[in-house]
Amino acid sequence: MGVTATSETNIVPIRALSDDEALAWIAAKGPAETSAAALARDWDWSPSKVRRRLASWSSAGRISVTSGGRGRSVIAAVAKTAAAPTAEIVAPISTEPVAPPVSDAPAVTAPAPSAPGRALAERASGLVDVLAYAVAISLAGTAAYFSIGGMIVLFPGAPTAIVIMGVAMEAAKLVTVAFLARQWRQIALLSRAVLVTLAAGLAAINAAGVYSQLVAAHLGDRGNAASAVETEASALAARTEVQSHAVADLDRRLDQIDAAIGEMVRRGRTTGALEAIGGQRKAREALVTQRRHEAEILANLKGEATAVAARGRRIEVEAAPIMYVAQLLGGTTDQAIRLLILMMVLTCDPLALALTAAASRPSGTGVS
């Protein structure tokens, strides 16, 4: 009605704009090169909200977002196509046959998603980000548990300080990665390099602690069990040897008595042999009883040695799966175990960092 629209270039809202007001603001400005931070100041929104709304509107075809200079973006409203008025066209009368009309109507554009649909999509995206954060924290916590345990093994003099330092380092690493993912284009190149280097250093320290703890866990119980079996087997072997000598000595003494009596009988001294048998009967019976007792002890010792050997074989059977893997890879069991531990170290904590970075990414498309 003859009223000139006022430019809103330098107007700062006294309240946060609604979605419709923000779209009207874009339409009034026309194609403009700007950034999410500048729009956040103009609309009194947070930069993350600006990125989400621009991404949603761009996907719905309500605005166009193209890359500009110096990391900025050119944003413009997409004009809605109005339906052309129907005009009655009077064609001249012709006697020639009329060809069937050819339709030149534009292709029908799918309607933009409704506001409830966009809200549902945003909630689903937020839920995925929350799950990513939860998984990242659980992986980082597991890695931190093993890392702190390994550091305590390496530095047993200050376990409490090691625990506090390990928790702080793990939290700092996750926060640094999240900050880099969200503010990558807003921070200087030197700051990026410093933060990336420090985060990589913390990850390397974590990997060293995890590796040492897993190695200790592998060698600890199995090593103690194998050492106990070897010690017990050695003790039983020594006792068995002593007991074997005792039984052999008793056998030798019995053989001496029997040989003396046999020699007397061979020489024809039958009366003397009978007297010798009567005199040595008690001594021989005592030796036989003692020999029987010592033989039972020797048999028990051999049974215990067999049981210890069976325990040693069970320990070896427990490591059979990794032995088959080692044979498949063409290496030794220790090499296969070291490879397995290395794979765990190189996937657990780095995956937590990658999930943190992915969940912290800016949600806008094409906007810095």
Predicted confidence (pLDDT) per residue in 227-285, tens digit: 777 788 888 788 888 888 888 888 887 787 777 767 666 666 666 666 666 666 667 77
Give, rounded to a whole angstrom, the gap between the first and last alpha carbons of the chain: 40
Indicate whether 285 belongs to any domain.
yes
Cα gap 171→199, rounded to integer Å: 11
> Is residue 266 domain-shared with residue 305, that is, in the same domain?
yes
Q: 176 lies in which domain range?
A: 128-213
| pLDDT higher than 90, residue 197 | yes
Task: Return the C-alpha torsion angle 149, 151, 157, 163, nearest 10.
Answer: -60
pLDDT at position 311: 76
Count of the separate structural domains present in the chain: 3
Q: Are 75 and 63 in contact (CB under 8 A)?
A: yes
> Is residue 70 domain-shared with residue 133, that is, in the same domain?
no
> Is residue 188 domain-shared with residue 265, that is, in the same domain?
no
> Is residue 334 domain-shared with residue 278, that is, in the same domain?
yes
Indicate whether 8 belongs to any domain.
no
Final residue belonging to a domain, choices 35, 51, 77: 77
Q: What is the mean pLDDT of the chain?
A: 76
| pLDDT higher than 90, residue 336 | no
User: Could you tell me which residues are beta bridge partners of residue 77?
Assistant: 63
Local structure of residue 156 (DSSP, 8 states) = T
> Is residue 230 domain-shared with residue 307, that is, in the same domain?
yes
| Beta-carbon contacts of residue 306 (< 8 Å; ≥ 6 apart) | none
| Beta-carbon contacts of residue 202 (< 8 Å; ≥ 6 apart) | 169, 170, 172, 173, 176
pLDDT at position 294: 83
> Is residue 196 domain-shared with residue 255, that is, in the same domain?
no
- Which tens digits make up the pLDDT trace of 274-324? 666 666 666 777 778 888 888 888 888 888 888 888 777 776 666 666 677
pLDDT at position 198: 92
pLDDT at position 265: 67
Between 209-218, 233-242, 298-307, 326-335, the lowest mean confidence (pLDDT) is in 326-335
| pLDDT higher than 70, residue 360 | yes
Q: Which two tokens stand for residue 24?
A: 């009207």
- Which tens digits make up the pLDDT trace of 38-61? 888 888 888 888 888 888 888 888
Indicate whether 123 belongs to any domain.
no
> Is residue 228 domain-shared with residue 334, that is, in the same domain?
yes
Final residue belonging to a domain, choices 213, 236, 269: 213
> Is residue 267 domain-shared with residue 244, that is, in the same domain?
yes
